[in-house]
Structure formats: structure tokens, C-alpha cells
Amino acid sequence: MMMETKNRLVAVLAIGSTSIRLVVAEIAKKGQWQVLDKAGKPVTLGRDVFTSGRVSRESLTECLSVLQYFKELLAGWGILDTDIHILATSALRAARNRDVFVDRVRLATGFRISIVEGIEENRLIYLAVRFALKQDFPQFWQDNTMIIDIGGGATEIMLLERGKMAAAHSLRLGTLLIEQQSRLAVGSAWSQRYLRESIRHTAEFLSAEMNLAHINSFVGVGSDTRIAAAIIGTELNEHCRIIPREAFIAFVQQVQHYSIEACVQNLHIPYAEAEGFVPGLLVYRQFLEQTIASKVVVPDVSLREGLLIDLALGVDPELQEEFFSQIIASAANLGRKYHYDEAHNRYVANLCLFLFDTLSHEHGMNRRERMMLEVAALLHDIGMFIRGEDHHKHGQYIVVNSEIFGLRRDELDIIANVIRYHRSAPPSQEDIDYIALQREDRNLVLKMASMLRVADALDRGHTQQVSLLQVELKNETLVLRTEGNRDLSLELIGLEEKADLFQDVFGYNVLLL
């Protein structure tokens, strides 16, 4: 894959529930990359956290020993500290003493750990799957697809409807949690019933966003499916294998009563991999049986490869636009889940984008912030699902407590605040959710909310009759010129109610002609 010599060496360390894994790669200037080395060491981090809620002293010592080993290994590669990336997933996310763990690691090794949110895991997994399948599995962009990664402490799920993101979730469902909560041997009848009920409830939750019975492509990303694919799968390309549906189900049926020792002996896999192997496969099978997929597609990639791809591509305009379109698709699907007025919300979003593009020199926001404004506009009336009165506050609550593919928690907080202030009183220093934001983020909320209020006012009657022809800045006035001769009385009332924040933020009166 490499085109040039003297390229950049990078390392990615992933601290998971059951192991710490390393990948070393060489990244070319043109966005290409090649794996040079891989290594992994088992740890008991997840067993601690999912039992007691904390990382024990023993697990901390164990992790420090493993990380010190990897530090020495990386020293031999001569990789710069700035090119060593350490990610931690569900176990540390859930640990009450995670800040202490992160600080101890930094002091002992110099490694700075980034604890990855579940939705960010989804983004990186999507990147890795896209890389593995794009050329040789075109159905990925046409079918209804489930991408699922089952780990020790969490399950990451993405649902795509004809290639567009319908939903993305990080679920508290992992092999260690299953083992802990079932309290019996995983292969037992009671345990399998527990699994079926858990996954049935999860499927019902997911079906509010997309009917799982309509999914015809099933992508399994976890290490358990990779082991199964190595045993019974056939190669699609160097990065992916395929297992027919019935062959996968038959294999799970064969191994479901295996003990850990039997997995090691019969399947020739390491003990650390064998510990969660059977419960992981059982969960994959339960989800597969909710779909009509004829095969299990197994990319030989993980979170680590996703970050490598992200580092290699950098700010790739084509990929960035694809991601933004997936974020918008995910937001729109969230709106449909709460029965929003799609025509009105999309219309207001388009007006917002028109204002954003025209006033670019006034607001100074970037392309990603444009996307965030579009999401806020798409979902500004989502709170109507609860009640019309105070729907701006209900909308804020829904968004804060939802997951939208590709959006970080801090970005969701900004968007939720924009929705909160799309009507009624402007922000004040008494609003806890607003003042909890960073100063720069509060400024973003003010700019976005002021544009959204103007755009919303232009469709006060929810009729989509106003078509902006031109936006002009004249002296201290923003002039909005409309197309055709229509009665604008409702829109003028709307602007009188809502244009005050725009005037305060940008210093322009708003005139509709």
C-alpha cells in the first residue's frame, strides 16, 4: 500500500475490557497506510469495573505493567510521543475512579489516555468497515445494514437504511456483563433465555428507528466473529471474510456448550480470547436471527484501524462530506422517531443554511459548525412529541439524552442549547445548561440560535411559502428579499417575536420584503 519512503510512524493502543492491544503502522503522505506490527496482552480491567464499578489496585498494577511493556516496545520503533495514540473504551468509561487511573498511567508511562465515547467508537468502526468493504461489497451502500461490534462491556450498533445512517447506539451489553448478570454457565438454557429476552427488548428499541426484519446485510466487527471467520469463512478480500448465515448459526450451535478450556483445545485460540468467545457468538447469533441477512460479513478491522484511517486521511473533503451526510441522516431519523414535522423542519434547516452561507463573513463559523446548525434546525421542534407548550425545553431534553452518529457529547450539548433557545427568552446567566458550556461554545449557541430563530419565523405558519431570493446587509439592516407576491403578515409577526437575538448578536435589524 505504501507509495513513498520515510513516512510517518504511528502507534495506536486500545485499552479494552479484556485486553490492551497495539498496532504500529506507517502512514504515507497521500493517505495510505500499512500495518507493521501488532501485539496484545490480556487484562482483567472489565471484570473489576463491571463487578465493583472501580478499577482495583491489582488491575491498575497489571495495566501499568502491560503499558510499560508496550512503551519499551515502541521505543525500539523510535515513534514520537505525539504519534502514540492511546484509546480506552467501555471499561474505563464506566469506572468511577477512571480519572485516577488516567493520571497514574500518565505519571508512570507518559501516555495520555483518551477515553472514547461510545458514539465516537461507532464513527471509528464505521471508518474501518468502510475501508474493508467499499470496493468489494457494494451492497454496503445499497442494502439495509446492521454493523455490530460486541465487546466485553458494550455493544456498538449502527443501522444503515440503503447506505444512509438510520441510527447509532452504544449499548450496555457485553460478554462480561452477560456472564455477570446471567450468573450461570453461558451455554445453559436459563442463560440463553436471558440472552433472548435481553436482545428481544433491544431489538424492539432499535425497531423504533429501523425494522430489523428489513435488514439484509449483517456486518460483525468483533474479535469473536473474526475467529469464527478464520475457521469457517471464505475470503472476500485481504481485509474481509464471509460466513453464510446457516454455517454461522450451525457453528454457534456446535460451540455454545464449550467451556473456555474446550475453546482453547478444540479451536486453538488463546485463553484470553476464549473467555468471551461463546457469549459473544451467542449475541451475534441472536441479532442475526432478527434480520433476513443471508451472510455474516466479517471485516478484519477494529477500532484501532479506524483511528489509523482517520490519521492517514486527515481532513479529506470527500470523506468529510460523506460523514456530514451520515450525521444529517441520523438526525433526520431521530426526528422521525419522535414524529416531527419533517417538511417544516427541513424547510427551516434550508433557510438556516442559506443565511449561514450568505453571512459567512459575519459569523466566522466553519463547515462542521454549519452541519451542527443544520442538525439543530432539523430537530428544533422535536419536543412537540412531548407537548407543544415548552417544546423548546422538551427538545433540549430529547437531544441531550439521544445518540446521533458522528456527534460528540460536547457537540450534542451545543445543539441542544440551540434548540432550547430557538424560541422564548434568550440565554441568561441563570441557565445552568448554558453557562456550563465553554465560552466559545456559548458564542456558537448565540450565533446559531439567532439564525434559527429568524429562519423559524419565516415559516411561522408551517406552510413553506416563503422563498428567500436574496440576503443583503445595508447599513445596520439585514434585508431579506422574497420571491413572488405573497402575504407576509404571519412571517412579519414571527420576526417581530424572534429577531431580537439576531439583533443583539450581530447588530443588524431584520427587514423582510
From CA 431, how far away is CA 446, in angstroms rounded? 13
pLDDT at res. 2: 40
> Taken in order 345, 346, 351, 356, is the CA torsion positive or negative?
positive
C-alpha cell at 118: 461510545
pLDDT at res. 507: 86
From CA 179, how far away is CA 152, in angstroms rounded? 10
From CA 483, how far away is CA 478, in angstroms rounded? 16
pLDDT at res. 36: 92
Query: What is the topology classification, in CATH, of domain 119-310?
Result: Nucleotidyltransferase; domain 5 (3.30.420)
Q: pLDDT tens, 236-252? A: 888 899 999 999 999 99
String of b and e for 203-241 (b: at least 16 CB within 10 Å)?
beebeebbebeebbbbbbbbbbbbbbbeebbeebeebbb
Q: Where are the domain boundaries for CATH 3.30.420.40 in the chain?
A: 8-116
pLDDT at res. 244: 97
CB 199 within 8 A of CB 290: yes
Question: In CATH, what class is 8-116?
Answer: alpha beta
CB atoms within 10 A of CB 136: 13
From CA 389, how far away is CA 396, in angstroms rounded? 13
Q: Where are the domain boundaries for CATH 3.30.420.150 in the chain?
A: 119-310
Please provide the DSSP assignment of 37-66 as one string.
EEEEEE--HHHHHHHHSS--HHHHHHHHHH
From CA 380, how far away is CA 43, in angstroms rounded? 45
Q: pLDDT tens, 372-386? A: 999 999 999 999 999
pTM for this one? 0.84
From CA 410, how far away is CA 416, in angstroms rounded? 10
Instruction: Using DSSP, state whether 35 is helix, strand or coil.
Output: strand
Question: In CATH, what class is 315-461?
Answer: mainly alpha
Least Cα distance to 62 among 128, 108, 124 occurs for 108
Q: Where are the domain boundaries for CATH 1.10.3210.10 in the chain?
A: 315-461
In the chain, the N- to C-terminal Cα span, in Å, equals 58
Least Cα distance to 158 among 92, 213, 220 occurs for 220
pLDDT tens across the length of the chain (513 residues): 444 446 889 999 999 988 999 999 998 876 678 889 999 999 989 888 988 999 999 999 999 999 999 999 999 999 988 999 999 998 999 999 999 999 999 999 999 999 998 888 999 999 999 888 877 777 777 889 999 999 888 889 999 999 899 989 888 887 777 766 655 445 556 666 777 777 888 888 888 888 899 999 999 998 999 999 999 999 988 889 999 999 999 999 999 889 889 999 999 998 888 888 988 999 999 999 999 999 999 999 889 999 988 888 776 788 888 889 999 999 999 999 999 999 999 999 999 999 999 988 889 999 999 999 999 999 999 999 999 889 999 999 999 999 999 999 999 999 999 999 998 888 888 889 999 999 999 999 999 999 999 999 888 888 888 887 788 888 888 888 887 677 788 888 888 888 889 899 988 888 888
